[in-house]
Structure 1
Amino acid sequence: MKDGFIKVAAATPEIHVADCAFNADNILALCREANEKGVQAVCFPELCLTGYTCSDLFLHNILLDGAKQQLLRIAGETAEMDMLIVVGLPVRVGGTLYNCAAFLHKGNILGMIPKRNIPNYTEFYELRHFTEADDDTEEYLEWDGQEFCIDPNQIFCCTDLPDFAVSAEICEDLWVPNPPSSDLACAGATILFNLSASDEIIGKAAYRRNLVCMQSGRGLCGYIYCDAGQGESSTDLVFAAHNIIAENGTLLAQSPRFATGLTISEIDVTRLTYERRRQNTFREGYVSRVWFDMELRETELTRPIAQTPFVPSDKGDLAARCEEILTLQATGLATRVRHAHAKTAVVGLSGGLDSALALIVTVHAFDLLGRDRRDIIAVTMPCFGTTSRTKNNALTLAAAYGTTCKTIEIGASVTQHFIDIGHDMEDHSVTFENGQARERTQVLMDLANKTGGMVIGTGDLSELALGWATYNGDHMSMYGVNSSIPKTLVRYLTAYEADRAGGETGRVLRDVLATPVSPELLPPKDGEISQKTEELVGPYELHDFFLYYLLRFGMEPKKIFRMAKQAFAGVYDDATIKKWLTTFVRRFFIQQFKRSCLPDGPKVGTVTLSPRGDWRMPSDAVSALWMEQCEQL
């Protein structure tokens, strides 16, 4: 539970129809297994104490009494487990029978949630036995000295971690147009369980999985779907035990169908509550809350944590995602070129990754506009640090795309500038570096003025986060097409274009991908690049990881550090991750002034740093709280 991670499980036991003692034995066995694996909340299927397919036996007191006694037994035998347990059973209240989810903790029945939507179509005929609950349902019961309430509007909350707030709906409740879980999420539940007995037919598994993922996204919640399986009557139906765990639209885990046992993952409840605060259209409602005490303890993480959160994890979707991103970038630029009546687009082409992507986007934009690619002016500006490899790649790429290419040597003008300001040419300090970057920007701006065009920015999101750009140098343009593309994604987009274009274009783009990332502002050594960005500022794959979780979910450094250790296990040791996380936090704060005056650029993902949109921060904000936590890692 530390850092907000709650280990949850969907548990499908083997059952015998109407054999409550047998069913309780298997439920208890899975409870013990879940407890040994550190699970903090476990859910069992709909009516699992009796079996869902008991039919008219549900009307018999002997079965209902058996379910009651076995639930009390389960509560008693799990009293030493600091684990929330959710079990499905039928519960009678006078002449009414409810299909319920019982919440147990440390031997106590905290309460029960009854099913609201009772299906009575095709193979379902539950109205024959059960009564639908509604907002007015509020029944108080006393079982063996324990008092509790049957109420569909209950949330069970942890005293020491209020973000850990749990509720449930039952099977059909999810399949209706307005699931109860939507209101329960709005009322504060971060984890929703669904106790289900969903029979299996062709095509239903994919639909069910999509439904669960979408509901978790709509409710900004964790959603655990627990399905009935082996032992239910097969008179007319087959049950597949398709258990699913999702969080905010993302599938975390699912079971193989037609099996029994535990499906386990972790729900990040603090991430969910942050997301709800961030989306001010998420309106909270009111329900009754039942509190329970659970010890805050470490949660071993098993959920997948991608090293590159900006890049689709499903590589089958990668090509489609790359095409979509390039289209968004190109459409944004095409719209601006059209609106500005720009005669040309001027791109500073260094032979590196970012400028290659900027040229790719510009070519796509001009193709969308039906404009001649020769109106794209690709300018390479060699200076003190330029190598033959990058210069040749820039020239070859510009020619391969059929653009107008210019080579403008800036060494003489930069030298004269240093003479003017009295800077020693042997002093390779920041003045030496930034003087070149600003001269290049001046050349591009003036060339754009001369040709009636606009300068296309090349800087990416990762550089903006780190402030790895020269203020009023490569920091400035007339439209920044890469402003919301992190470096890790720049690589995938460029590789996609290389494969798509093929031929000489593909060849040179692949060589650009193989070239070390460098601003090339210091003289080369033996003709090779001497200034490698990732040796100076740190690996971009780490910085993009830090950036994603700091901005997208407001995570504090200690939590980001913990997740990075798992994601990059065997790649970077703890000391290396700590070093670059500390660097990232320090630079992110002190470099905000550069982000406060950024050029326009298209938003393509959920994380951007535009001061007009997603990120607004004072340039003199103090990083002390974040840095203190970094030092304590």
Structure 2
Amino acid sequence: MLLDCALFISNGKLLGVVPKNIKTRWFNTATAKTFIYDNYEVAISDKLIFASMCKIGICVGAMNNEKLSTLNNAELIINIDAQPYYHNYFEDTINELASLSKFSNQAIVYANTNPCESTTDYVYTSLLAVFECGKQVLNKNYKHQNSFSFDTNCYSAEIDIDIVRAIRKKKSIENKMIDLAVSQNQIINFELPTKKINTINRFTTNHLHSKHNDFSNRQNTCNKESSNEHNENELKSFYIDPFLTHKIKYSSQAIDIVTVQALGLAKRLRHINSNNVVIGISGGIDSTLALLVCDKCFDILGYPKNNINAVFMPCFGTSAESARIAKQLAEALTVNYIEIPITDAVTQHFKDISHNAEVRNLVYENSQARQRTMILFNYANKTNGIVVGTGNMSEIALGWSTYNADHISNYNVNCGIPKTVAKAILEFYIYSKANPKIDGNLIARILERPISPELLPADENNEIQSTEQIIGQYELHDFFLFYHLSYFLSKEKLLYIAKYSFSNKYSVEEIENTLDIFLHRFHQSQYKRSCSTDGPSIFSVSLSPRTGFVLPSDI
């Protein structure tokens, strides 16, 4: 009996045989469930699951939904195929596998036979592809340069099993499918030679290569860059930029995001029958983006721009450059610019509560924030408008806001925008001149300045307060935010992938310290998020206590 099948071998031992089980002119279907090989029993079935650090299923032949359903219990599927070449074969196969991987929330390793198998009417071209829940993790620039070669090609890719499991767990509808699949699959446990790193599950396609493999007697040899050795430099790197700011910076995605923000605000204004907004501006990144969103919103609604009330409220730490930028920005957008100094009001407040103004503590800083918020809300009442919030997603995650001050508004257009994305959007405005009313040099000045709440006066060296010197780099915080919120990765895993991704940019100490700050502040600040303001969710992760990250305040 001749079978079209795959053999699963680990450490020189045959663990199982997976047949294609489609009867053809040449091949039969498997009837036996086991057979004896080298004096031990070997299972033979198309429903075998090989379990070690992850559950591996084997698919022989073209992948489809029916085959996926029989292997739904697997976290990783190895798909061995012999598909002859046809026009658009590469694109069609990649797109189909990506779709199947995303639909089933599984990792897929795909390998098609190479030209050595060509015969009669069929010519085969090799294709190697690896997917992680729909995302192609083998080199995305790998096209067909080696597909038409008789050489054997070996490539390395990395699959994060923790992420695969997290995604599968989040898809509650699939849990029932997985439970059904458990009873159908025969589980074969084995020891996989693997590199353990702080109990982190990392699976590389190199693990598929048995140490007993010997290609030396074959005519086809692996090329130099395709060594079987595990080379981390060649493996998939975690996105240093998970929110894809590199794309936003140079594409119309930036305008799409601003438009979505503007549409959310427009709906709120139409619903409450208001044509006025009040926004506090500081000359910083977040208030600049929020003001641009208001400008876009009023374009959509056809409201007069002077109904956008941009309020600048200088106090003890406000720099002259911030004042210049805020005014120039408001004038460029032809909105209603209002300057209300709050130094006297805050000083009086200190007297009212018997606080020494020389003690520059939390009372000193938060009193300014609450004074500003009171002015914004009262001015909104005066104009029959609403207060537009400017706090970004990164600040919300870290609780980097004053409770009942910049923490709230009537509608926060930036609540779904991480700080790194806000910067990327402003960079797009420079690059594309998306708003011709604004000089790119003005936005460049905003981006060049250190991120600061400017609540404290400048020091003796005229250095202003720096947020990132206090809490760490926003680039790291946004990285932690995405992977912690998307996949609930452990602290150890977050630390590992951050070291792996930022090894050439930040020291290990800086990464560790920033992660400690992130995790502490993130979980400590849920009580602020529990009563946060409405605003548009932009990315797959959201901190909204209603539709995004739901967590009791005191956990």
Structure 1 residue corresponding to 2:187, chosen from 256, 268, 289: 289
Q: Which residue of 2 aligns with 1:267?
A: 159
Q: How many residues align?
A: 505
Q: TM-score, normalised by structure 2?
A: 0.86
CA separation in 2, counterparts of 1:258 and 1:528? 64
CA separation in 1, counterparts of 2:85 and 2:254? 36
Q: Which residue of 2 aligns with 1:306?
A: 239
The SS at the match of 1:428 is coil
User: Is the aligned partner of 1:236 residue 2:168?
Assistant: no
The SS at the match of 2:115 is coil
The SS at the match of 2:251 is helix
C-alpha spacing 1:102/1:385, structure 2 compared with 1 (3 Å): same
User: Is the aligned partner of 1:367 residue 2:367?
Assistant: no
C-alpha spacing 1:316/1:535, structure 2 compared with 1 (3 Å): closer
Q: Work out whether residues 387 and 528 of structure 1, in 8 Å CA contact, stay in contact via their aligned partners in 2.
A: no
C-alpha spacing 1:428/1:481, structure 2 compared with 1 (3 Å): same
> Cα distance, 1:468 vs. partner?
0.7
CA separation in 1, counterparts of 2:417 and 2:70? 36
Measured against aligned partners, the alpha-carbon deviations of 1:317-375 in whole angstroms (never above 9, x if no partner) come to: 95133233222212211111111112211111111001111111122222222222222
CA separation in 2, counterparts of 1:272 and 1:98? 32
CA separation in 1, counterparts of 2:461 and 2:86? 66
Measured against aligned partners, the alpha-carbon deviations of 1:462-483 in whole angstroms (never above 9, x if no partner) come to: 1111111011111110111111
Measured against aligned partners, the alpha-carbon deviations of 1:480-539 in whole angstroms (never above 9, x if no partner) come to: 111121111111112123332246343322221112110011113479551010011111
> Cα distance, 1:104 vs. partner?
1.4
C-alpha spacing 1:503/1:479, structure 2 compared with 1 (3 Å): closer
Structure 1 residue corresponding to 2:360, chosen from 428, 432, 435: 428
Measured against aligned partners, the alpha-carbon deviations of 1:229-252 in whole angstroms (never above 9, x if no partner) come to: 131225433322110011112111
C-alpha spacing 1:182/1:457, structure 2 compared with 1 (3 Å): farther
The SS at the match of 1:231 is helix
Q: Work out whether residues 397 and 505 of structure 1, in 8 Å CA contact, stay in contact via their aligned partners in 2.
A: no
The SS at the match of 2:78 is strand
> Cα distance, 1:293 vs. partner?
2.6
User: Is the aligned partner of 1:258 residue 2:125?
Assistant: no
CA separation in 2, counterparts of 1:264 and 1:309? 22
CA separation in 2, counterparts of 1:598 and 1:576? 30
CA separation in 1, counterparts of 2:292 and 2:69? 43
Q: Which residue of 1 aligns with 2:131?
A: 246
Aligned residue runs from structure 1 range 164-563, under 5 A: 164-172=54-62, 174=63, 176=64, 178-185=65-72, 188-233=73-118, 235-254=120-139, 255=142, 256-259=146-149, 260-283=152-175, 284=178, 285-286=180-181, 287-294=185-192, 297-298=195-196, 301=232, 302-311=235-244, 315=247, 319-498=251-430, 499=432, 500-502=434-436, 504-525=438-459, 530-563=464-497
Letter in 2 for 1:221: Q
Q: Work out whether residues 387 and 527 of structure 1, in 8 Å CA contact, stay in contact via their aligned partners in 2.
A: no
Q: Work out whether residues 109 and 146 of structure 1, in 8 Å CA contact, stay in contact via their aligned partners in 2.
A: no
User: Is the aligned partner of 1:102 residue 2:34?
Assistant: no
C-alpha spacing 1:293/1:418, structure 2 compared with 1 (3 Å): same
Q: Which residue of 2 aligns with 1:57?
A: none
Q: Which residue of 2 aligns with 1:128?
A: 25
Percent of aligned positions that are identical? 35
Q: Work out whether residues 195 and 226 of structure 1, in 8 Å CA contact, stay in contact via their aligned partners in 2.
A: yes
Letter in 1 for 2:554: D
C-alpha spacing 1:610/1:401, structure 2 compared with 1 (3 Å): same
> Cα distance, 1:182 vs. partner?
4.2
Q: Work out whether residues 60 and 81 of structure 2, in 8 Å CA contact, stay in contact via their aligned partners in 1.
A: yes
Q: Which residue of 2 aligns with 1:612?
A: 546
C-alpha spacing 1:317/1:488, structure 2 compared with 1 (3 Å): closer
The SS at the match of 1:166 is strand
> Cα distance, 1:568 vs. partner?
0.6
CA separation in 2, counterparts of 1:218 and 1:363? 39
Q: Work out whether residues 438 and 474 of structure 1, in 8 Å CA contact, stay in contact via their aligned partners in 2.
A: yes
Measured against aligned partners, the alpha-carbon deviations of 1:32-57 in whole angstroms (never above 9, x if no partner) come to: xxxxxxxxxxxxxxxxxxxxxxxxxx
Consecutive aligned runs of 4 or more in structure 1 exceeding 4 Å deviation = 525-529
The SS at the match of 2:237 is coil
CA separation in 2, counterparts of 1:238 and 1:151? 29
C-alpha spacing 1:380/1:312, structure 2 compared with 1 (3 Å): closer
Measured against aligned partners, the alpha-carbon deviations of 1:553-591 in whole angstroms (never above 9, x if no partner) come to: 111111111111111112111111111111111111222
The SS at the match of 2:531 is coil
User: Is the aligned partner of 1:152 residue 2:46?
Assistant: yes
The SS at the match of 2:477 is helix
Q: Work out whether residues 242 and 258 of structure 1, in 8 Å CA contact, stay in contact via their aligned partners in 2.
A: no
Letter in 2 for 1:273: R
Letter in 2 for 1:423: H
Q: Which residue of 1 aligns with 2:500?
A: 566
Q: Work out whether residues 441 and 474 of structure 1, in 8 Å CA contact, stay in contact via their aligned partners in 2.
A: yes
Q: Work out whether residues 245 and 420 of structure 2, in 8 Å CA contact, stay in contact via their aligned partners in 1.
A: no
Letter in 1 for 2:49: I
Structure 2 spans left out of the alignment, 5+ residues: 197-201, 203-229
> Cα distance, 1:109 vs. partner?
2.3
CA separation in 1, counterparts of 2:282 and 2:426? 15
CA separation in 2, counterparts of 1:528 and 1:357? 27
CA separation in 1, counterparts of 2:288 and 2:90? 43
Letter in 2 for 1:113: V
C-alpha spacing 1:375/1:131, structure 2 compared with 1 (3 Å): farther
The SS at the match of 2:35 is strand
Q: TM-score, normalised by structure 1?
A: 0.76
> Cα distance, 1:221 vs. partner?
1.4
Q: Which residue of 2 aligns with 1:89?
A: none
> Cα distance, 1:132 vs. partner?
6.4
Q: Work out whether residues 385 and 529 of structure 1, in 8 Å CA contact, stay in contact via their aligned partners in 2.
A: no
> Cα distance, 1:541 vs. partner?
0.7
Structure 1 spans left out of the alignment, 5+ residues: 1-91, 119-125, 622-633
CA separation in 2, counterparts of 1:366 and 1:454? 14
